[in-house]
Amino acid sequence: MLPAANTAWGENPALSYGNLRAIIGYIALTLPVVLLVSGAVDGHIEGSMSAYYYTQVGDVFTGALCVIGIFLVAYRLAAWTLDNIATTLAGIAALGVAFFHSAPAHATLSQLRLADVHLSCATALFVLLGAISLFIFPRTDIELEQRWHAACYMGLGALIWLSIILMPVLNALASSFYNDNDIFFVLETICVMAFAVSFILKGHGQPTDREFALQAGQPPAALTRALADRHAVPAKTPPEPTVQA
């Protein structure tokens, strides 16, 4: 693939995309920690991450999901590859989780309907993130020294999908244990942490494109031409032939 002609001097698009992936991962990694610390301070751990919307850190929960959703949608929106379509859909789902909230206590009918949208978006988000780690991220790490990255992505993606499956299964088989011990929150946290680690590893572990790196290290074409013209030796004009009468 040839580098884009409008790459800025010193800018490496491959590294930029990698850094955005890592930022998404770091934000996701800190979200459960902030929620747990807030719950510990209040003396009550909520049954799900979404329930923290109705606590004092509700803005943190919504803001983090909005940032993650916007980054997933926008970081390579113009390139319509399988990777970018999946991350765009995951970003839309994350925004749906942020703006359609879970049902509060004594919810009205309209709040219950919005909660159904919230749950559908959350399910789609985790399924897509698991698929990205399982099937998309490992494809680009084909070099021998990077194969352990591919194994990590697949393991993290499988962990996300396993947690999704365990949520309804454990609720059906041991509902009292499931509810009394906040198992839903634990499984949600596992999903978020696995997604975060996967994106951080992908962001920092993906090698840069050599063509992009070479172009980023060169000055702009116009400046290059100007410098060349400044130091160029003017060509001697051949004398005009004399005409004898």
- Under a CB-based contact definition with an 8 Å cutoff, are residues 94 and 68 in contact? yes
Does residue 224 form part of some domain?
Answer: no
Query: pLDDT at position 43, please?
Result: 80
Does residue 82 form part of some domain?
Answer: yes
Residue range of the domain that includes 148: 13-211
The answer for 10, left when phi > 0, alpha when psi is -120 to 50, beta otherwise, is: left
**Measured between alpha carbons, how far is 161 from 121 in angstroms, rounded to an integer?**
15
Query: pLDDT at position 243, please?
Result: 52
Query: pLDDT at position 118, please?
Result: 97
Query: pLDDT at position 244, please?
Result: 54
Residue type, 79: A
Query: pLDDT at position 205, please?
Result: 65
**Measured between alpha carbons, how far is 20 from 186 in angstroms, rounded to an integer?**
27
Close Cβ partners of 236 (under 8 Å, ≥ 6 residues apart): none
Does residue 56 form part of some domain?
Answer: yes
**8-state DSSP, 99:** H
Residue type, 164: I
Does residue 67 form part of some domain?
Answer: yes
Helix/strand/coil for 10 = coil
Residue-wise DSSP of 144-169: GGGHHHHHHHHHHHHHHHHHHHHHHH
Query: pLDDT at position 236, please?
Result: 55
Does residue 54 form part of some domain?
Answer: yes
> 10-residue block means of pLDDT along the chain (245 residues)?
45 66 94 92 88 93 96 78 89 96 91 95 97 89 68 95 96 90 94 96 64 46 49 54 53
Q: How many CA atoms lie within 13 A of 24 on its CB side?
A: 29
Query: pLDDT at position 44, please?
Result: 81
Query: Phi, psi at residue 181, to the nearest 5°?
Result: -110, 15
Query: pLDDT at position 142, please?
Result: 58
Does residue 227 form part of some domain?
Answer: no
Query: pLDDT at position 199, please?
Result: 94
Closest by Cα among 77, 55, 67, 3 to 30: 67
Does residue 217 form part of some domain?
Answer: no
Tokens of 89: 């859909």
Angle made by CA atoms 154, 157, 159, in degrees to the nearest 5: 110
**Measured between alpha carbons, how far is 197 from 205 in angstroms, rounded to an integer?**
11
Dihedral angle of Cα 153, 168, 92, 94, to the nearest 10 degrees: -80
Query: pLDDT at position 80, please?
Result: 76
Query: pLDDT at position 75, please?
Result: 73
Helix/strand/coil for 241 = coil
Does residue 197 form part of some domain?
Answer: yes
Counted domains in the chain: 1
